[in-house]
Structure 1
Amino acid sequence: MPTARDPAVELQHALLSRLKLRQLSLLQAIDRHRTLSRVAAEMQLSQPAITKALHEVEDIFGSTLFERSSRGLVPTAAGDAVLHYARRWLAELEATTRVLTSLEAGRSGRLRLGLTQQVPQQLMSAALTHLLDRSPRISVMVREGTTDELVAGLVARELDCAIGRSYDGDASGLVQEAIHEQEPCLVVGAKNVKRLSRGPLDWARLAQLDWILPPPNTPMRRTYNAIFVGAGVQPPLPILETTAIRSIETVLRQEPNAITIFARDVLAGMEPAGHWAALPYRLSWNLPPVSFFTLKELEAHPTVRSLRGAVVETARRMKRSAG
């Protein structure tokens, strides 16, 4: 009696027996360049050879992965799904090679850490000191970015853990723990503090200034927009959208009406430069908490677990000291 056919099992068998890693690299190259001629030039192959290779990959997956359009070759729905996992598989392979290289160099492993620019100096120092003072030593890769960028890096398996603002989006397998509360303050160029702090706190007046805000659709931008809306004021159109500290400092120093919002403890670590300072207002809300992020599959990893413990303990000491 014939058995029921399971397409998923058949596809899995085809992938295990026929799919090669270089074919995943080919798909990424096509997605990057969107024309086979450019892919052929990058891979130093003929265009017919690239066309044949793409047809072989599509035959393995049993689906058309790219279709021609006015914008060149664009992924189909199946192509998007395959590319999503191809990026993860290749990122995991790259991570494995880095770990093996670290082991061969006498290190005990490698950790990829993400940080936002508004992580307090004490937490950043605690994390890096904990990692770099380990014996035997490990290799550490640090990437800075917004919380959204760091979460994307975690999901893509390009990072092992991160310290950033709490994340309000949907990310499969993400584990986050709030570890530190921060008080916000309004920050302007140091020479402009007296002029811009006249009178009581007035969000309508502040909205008329030249704002430096995080990029659109980031957790912090959504928070700041909500503050203006809650005060009955239209969120301002910023003159600069960035989280880059040096860019923020430059504009605050040069523009007489420039203003932004910073965590007070982060600002305290930067004030000796003398280029910016907080306005003398106390805000009635807190910033989204600083959080420790990793993936469910990595939270029991010894290095990730010990780093989390060191960062959480440092955050507790900071809270006791502030109290």
Structure 2
Amino acid sequence: MTLVQLRHLISLAETGSFTRSAQALFLTQPALSRSIRALEEELGQPLFDRIGRRSVLTPFGMEALQRARQLVADADDLASSGQQMEAGRTGVIRVGLGAGPGAMLMTPLLRTMAQSHPKVHVDITRGDTDRLVTALRERELDALVVDARALLPAPDLQVSHIVEMRGAFMVREGHPLAQAKGPIRFAAVRQFPIASTPLSDEVARTLVERYGAEAHPTACVTLRCGEISSLVQVAQDSDAVLIAIRAAAPDLVELALKPALNATARFGVVTLARRAEPPALAILRKLVAHLMTE
């Protein structure tokens, strides 16, 4: 049996007339008769008694009508739910955010969903790239926004919406280093605590190339934390120097170093290749494009 046949059953039960039902269903009367007859043959019981010009439900037909209405209603609800999900108005999205993306995206994403998509369930996980990739592969997450340079190339990972963001050394207003008249040397920065999130190997190489072996994160970073918002707060409240993407700490003062840092982080949306994406993921992509800019 098909949903079309069940709709034919419901229509005929409501009108009692093959002629009126055929007109309402935009069918010919013979086509409707064949549909009802095929349904009766499949169910093994007559659904209607023909009394004069009227078609009246049999006792079995009454029971079949109740079930048909429930099945059709459930199917309509399912179709509506799919349409709502496709429009990003319902559903679930589970997102993993690295340190930099978390600082810039987490609050705006939650605010956007609460204000514009209140029926979408949002689950955000923060962590290092390796742990987030493992969760993505185990289908515990639908997408990640992480530093693409920290990813090992793999055929099952798909990276899109890549954005590059400039890194910087930053301090609070009034910091002793902020009073310098010109560019400062890295040796001056080393006189203060240095804070950062875990940095990619590429950023570590850049630091060493610019400032020597003492600038390797394992040697110079004294305050390491995965939550960049905490590090920003520490830099605002102390003489710590923060290494991070510039846009993550707009209230801090950027230091001019000699030579210049000239390093960027490359963030991207990471999904599993050949896996169907939740429609609400389009909302995340729009936020990445809108917010993750200098």
TM-score interval w.r.t. the shorter chain? Answer: 0.5 to 0.7
* Counterpart in the other structure of 2:165: 182
Alignment of 1:125-136 (within 5 A): 127-128=109-110, 131-132=113-114
Number of aligned residues: 201
- Return the offset for 1:134: 5.8
Task: Return the alpha-carbon distance in structure 2 between the equivalents of residues 248 and 136 of structure 1.
Answer: 31
**1:294 counterpart SS class:** strand
- Return the offset for 1:224: 3.5
- Of 272, 275, 284, 1:298 maps to 275
Task: Return the alpha-carbon distance in structure 1 between the equivalents of residues 255 and 194 of structure 2.
Answer: 14
- Cα distance change on mapping 1:267 and 1:221 into 2, 3 Å: same
Instruction: Answer yes or no: is 1:140 the counterpart of 2:122.
Output: yes
Identity within the alignment, %: 22
- Cα distance change on mapping 1:135 and 1:267 into 2, 3 Å: closer
Instruction: Answer yes or no: is 1:222 the counterpart of 2:180.
Output: no
Instruction: Answer yes or no: is 1:209 the counterpart of 2:189.
Output: no
* Counterpart in the other structure of 2:212: 233
- Return the offset for 1:181: 1.8
Task: Return the alpha-carbon distance in structure 2 between the equivalents of residues 164 and 124 of structure 1.
Answer: 13
Task: Work out whether residues 116 and 145 of structure 1, in 8 Å CA contact, stay in contact via their aligned partners in 2.
Answer: yes
Structure 1 residues 190-231: Cα deviation after superposition (integer angstroms, max 9, x where no partner)? 33155564542323433443221334xxxx242342123202
Alignment of 1:106-125 (within 5 A): 108-119=90-101, 123-124=105-106
**1:298 counterpart SS class:** coil
**2:90 counterpart SS class:** coil
Task: Return the alpha-carbon distance in structure 2 between the equivalents of residues 312 and 246 of structure 1.
Answer: 18
Alignment of 1:237-276 (within 5 A): 237-253=220-236, 255-256=238-239, 258-268=240-250, 271=251, 276=252
Rg (Cα) greater in structure = 2
Task: Return the alpha-carbon distance in structure 1 between the equivalents of residues 226 and 179 of structure 2.
Answer: 23
Task: Work out whether residues 160 and 298 of structure 1, in 8 Å CA contact, stay in contact via their aligned partners in 2.
Answer: no
- Return the offset for 1:121: 6.5
Task: Work out whether residues 196 and 279 of structure 1, in 8 Å CA contact, stay in contact via their aligned partners in 2.
Answer: no
- Return the offset for 1:281: 5.2
- Return the offset for 1:308: 5.2
Task: Return the alpha-carbon distance in structure 2 between the equivalents of residues 116 and 267 of structure 1.
Answer: 16
- Return the offset for 1:182: 1.0
Task: Return the alpha-carbon distance in structure 1 between the equivalents of residues 256 and 123 of structure 2.
Answer: 38
- Cα distance change on mapping 1:192 and 1:183 into 2, 3 Å: same
Give TM-score, length-normalised by structure 2.
0.56
Alpha-carbon RMSD across the aligned residues, in angstroms, is 3.4
- Return the offset for 1:173: 1.5
Structure 1 residues 245-264: Cα deviation after superposition (integer angstroms, max 9, x where no partner)? 354245425543x2121222
**2:271 counterpart SS class:** strand
- Return the offset for 1:152: 2.4
Task: Return the alpha-carbon distance in structure 2 between the equivalents of residues 208 and 194 of structure 1.
Answer: 10
Structure 2: segments with no counterpart, 5+ residues = 1-84
Give TM-score, length-normalised by structure 1.
0.51
